[in-house]
Amino acid sequence: MNTYQAKIGYARISTVDQNLDAQIEALTAAGCGMVRQEQRSGTTLEGRPELNNILDFIHKGETLVVTRIDRLARSMHDLQTMGSIRAQCKIPL
């Protein structure tokens, strides 16, 4: 039986003055086999193609890993929206 569970990392910075290196290093150290990254504002889910790709293609048994919750969502509404997407796909949090 295959017990492999993929970890998918998501790194995000808001401005060009910030650096993704620390996030990528932490996600790699956490065992993420793939790290998606982008430089986008986190104020909304719209306009974040790498995160949307992850949410579209993540499968049951895979884990989305972030270094801090604010890299994923900046509002409870966006976090709840992601939770709804997860529930529709039957992916546990």
Known catalytic residues are 14
Per-residue tokens: 5: 């569970």
Cα 18 from Cα 76, distance rounded (Å): 24
Compute how many other C-beta atoms are within 10 angstroms of the C-beta atom of residue 45.
19
Tell me the HSE value of 44 on the side-chain side, using a 13 A CA sphere.
Answer: 2
Cα 7 from Cα 68, distance rounded (Å): 15
